[in-house]
Structure 1
């Protein structure tokens, strides 16, 4: 009788967990043990993301010397900085769906290898001072930015639902690649030269791909989704959760991407720092967001992600308003942008923890791809707006910063009044 009661209790617990996370997809299939190797594979995935993010951000830290050598105005410089973001954003839609089919390991390897040639090409374009080629090759450099759509479903497959906020938050720390690029890329150029710096990053991508071949493994829980890509994306696009999370992620991750790429230009224009000093401060901004991301994910495992996201949006709006006052360097400006980075980082972790709770299990990659693309697109337009308004309103970034504050506040109100703290897994439009 005791044995029967224990078995009954276990079955009820499993059923309760299934209902809690995916109430419309209750399964009685036995659980798959994914714990063996999960830490190693999560850390390796984070490393792959970091190296690809470094590659993706090769132009931003060098935007000031490029602008000086090519005599670019703020608008032209912002277009150059934003170009890799475009492909890195839109490409995530397809990459997310392909990850559902081929798995994270295969896609990590493919993206790392495919990013090598664009990195070298951008170095060549910069070496010959060609603005047109920087735009063309920068477009293809965006391939490296699609890596994010691979890691979220990969991490989800390795961890059970109760720890996916933590797992996606740790993987999101791969954003540290932007900090590494901001800090080291200008210094490497001073030490070794422009082309050699790009060769070093290309070698790092190649070594990373080889390590994935030798060490990385797919989670035992991974089941390939062999449905055709376009219908699968169309199905994901019909989910209400896809567009709600896309809207929120476009603000929090888009804000991070925009500032990580454009902050060197902003700092140089407002505070007249050198390229290396501007890179150091941008690296600090990116590092703060990276540290905050797993905090947002872990908090979302313990409290509803809605409240984590609300703190992020409210704090971002407030800090954007403070930034319009141009706080003096170095302490108060550092406090302002570090606080903004922390709020944005917490929000990125919170949004994707929310995605993991609400997206259907067999469509996480497709939903992730669209949401991640929205985040990248959210980072594409702010540099263009900042550059254009700086040129047209008298060398002033106030309008761009106020637009960020207004957008974040609008998202705050939408989240308060339209999104429930406990949403069902699948809610169609």
Structure 2
């Protein structure tokens, strides 16, 4: 897997981008989406498998929430090392390997998915499915290096959105299996994905490239890890992506537990929210490109708070129709916010470079270094938010038999995200301090109003 290395890559050079770079970047984006898509499907397998787990499996709702929470947690943690492997092994090479690695959890799930398997075994397999969540971090880091800043919102949004669609697609496969073969045949779902994993790996090997200029920068990681904006953005990403992945994994189980839906009834509804949330993610990135990520993010959190209020009302009056409207609204809004928050990261660190007095390529290089390093941390913490959502549901159903208390907690959190977004990035965007270089730098330097 050592071939296909590109030695020169200068996406900010408009001539290079027009004549050569854009074509190569788009090709890599396409096959990155394919591999990440399969990764998300494997990561979210247990959101489907629990729908097949009837009374004969001997697992109660709290145990099922723990299974999907375990997969969420491992997938979030593994994003940190996955951020650095692209520079070490090459984006193409790692995409091939990480795709093939998905055969392990999928194959083991195929082997053990039947009544009589111990709960401990199910937990261990759920741990292994977490590797699918790591594909997001390596894919985003790789694609971030291929595109110029002016295209990052669109490219990262499309890459992440195409990957996110893996969640509703595996849920649609589950629905098809339950609707045709019945709830006793979960292995059919797993059998569908085993050859698809091989296809993704082969396509990555044939059509993707490694970028030689992309190198791991321990100094950049240390600086990103100590930068307050990395952790502020991680907090906001908990509110957007954490909501998306947490709700995606839990939606079907909530419908079964709170509203008494059958596996087929739950499966017929589960995929709708994740599908819409995935499709709209690139829109969030594009809107952020045009209007500023902070403004779009603030509006998204405000709307998510309203949608959560609708869900709380529906939960109290036990109205499934109103509940679905509010819950699907949360999916759409979280997808929109996913795109806008990730767009903010490269813009914030470019602004930081200008604030340090850097100009031109020096500022752009600083922004690329720090944003690439921070994305793994932001993505990992955001994924942990999905675990928080599943644990909140587990506790709420254990103590009250309903998810209402969990939604109240989510409402409070969205209000906090609104406050942070406004206070840090919109209330006082600030002007870049004057420096000696201002005289020779005719370009305006971005403050936080532009992130």
TM-score, normalising length: structure 1: 0.86
Aligned residue runs from structure 1 range 89-168, under 5 A: 89-127=76-114, 128-168=116-156
SS in 1 for 2:299: helix
Maintained 8 Å contact 2:310/2:322: no
Compute the displacement of 1:186 (Å). 4.2
Maintained 8 Å contact 1:41/1:216: yes
Compute the displacement of 1:309 (Å). 0.5
- Provide structure 1 residue ranges, at least 5 long, that are not aligned to the other structure: 1-16, 19-27
Maintained 8 Å contact 2:297/2:337: yes
Aligned-CA RMSD value: 2.5
Maintained 8 Å contact 1:85/1:379: yes
User: Structure 1 residues 367-376 or 103-112, which shifts more?
Assistant: 103-112
> Does 2:383 match 1:376?
yes
Compute the displacement of 1:330 (Å). 5.8
Instruction: Give per-residue Cα distances to partners, 1:223-254, cap 9 Å, x unaligned.
Output: 131445xx653332012221111000011100
Compute the displacement of 1:336 (Å). 1.4
Instruction: Give, in whole Å, the separation in 1 of the partners of 2:372 and 2:123.
Output: 30
Compute the displacement of 1:397 (Å). 0.9
**Partner residue, 1:400:** 406
Instruction: Give, in whole Å, the separation in 2 of the partners of 1:386 and 1:40.
Output: 40
Maintained 8 Å contact 2:137/2:375: yes
**Partner residue, 1:191:** 181
**Partner residue, 2:31:** 44
Compute the displacement of 1:187 (Å). 2.8
> Does 2:204 match 1:212?
yes
- Provide structure 2 residue ranges, at least 5 long, that are not aligned to the other structure: 1-10, 350-366, 433-444
**Partner residue, 1:81:** 68
Instruction: Give, in whole Å, the separation in 1 of the partners of 2:398 and 2:222.
Output: 40
Maintained 8 Å contact 1:306/1:415: yes
Instruction: Give, in whole Å, the separation in 2 of the partners of 1:401 and 1:156.
Output: 34
> Does 2:404 match 1:414?
no
Instruction: Give per-residue Cα distances to partners, 1:173-224, cap 9 Å, x unaligned.
Output: 11010001111124336539333431321221111101100111245xx613
User: Structure 1 residues 257-266 or 333-342, which shifts more?
Assistant: 333-342
Maintained 8 Å contact 2:84/2:138: no
**Partner residue, 1:257:** 245
Compute the displacement of 1:29 (Å). 12
Maintained 8 Å contact 1:187/1:276: no
Instruction: Give, in whole Å, the separation in 1 of the partners of 2:217 and 2:420.
Output: 34
SS in 2 for 1:77: helix
**Partner residue, 2:438:** none
Instruction: Give per-residue Cα distances to partners, 1:374-397, cap 9 Å, x unaligned.
Output: 11100012111111221112x121
Q: Note closer, same or farther for the CA distance 1:186–1:135 as it changes in structure 2 (3 Å cut).
A: farther
SS in 2 for 1:273: coil
SS in 2 for 1:419: helix
Compute the displacement of 1:68 (Å). 2.7
Aligned residue runs from structure 1 range 9-408, under 5 A: 33-66=20-53, 68-127=55-114, 128-173=116-161, 174-188=163-177, 191=181, 193-218=185-210, 223-227=213-217, 233-326=221-314, 331-359=321-349, 360-393=367-400, 395-408=401-414
Maintained 8 Å contact 1:67/1:77: no
Instruction: Give, in whole Å, the separation in 1 of the partners of 2:397 and 2:186.
Output: 28
Compute the displacement of 1:124 (Å). 2.1
Compute the displacement of 1:271 (Å). 2.3
**Size of the alignment, in residue pairs?**
397
Instruction: Give, in whole Å, the separation in 1 of the partners of 2:136 and 2:415.
Output: 26
SS in 1 for 2:59: coil
Compute the displacement of 1:343 (Å). 0.9
Q: Which has the higher contact order (CA 8 A, sep 6+)?
A: 1
Instruction: Give per-residue Cα distances to partners, 1:7-35, cap 9 Å, x unaligned.
Output: xxxxxxxxxx98xxxxxxxxx99966521
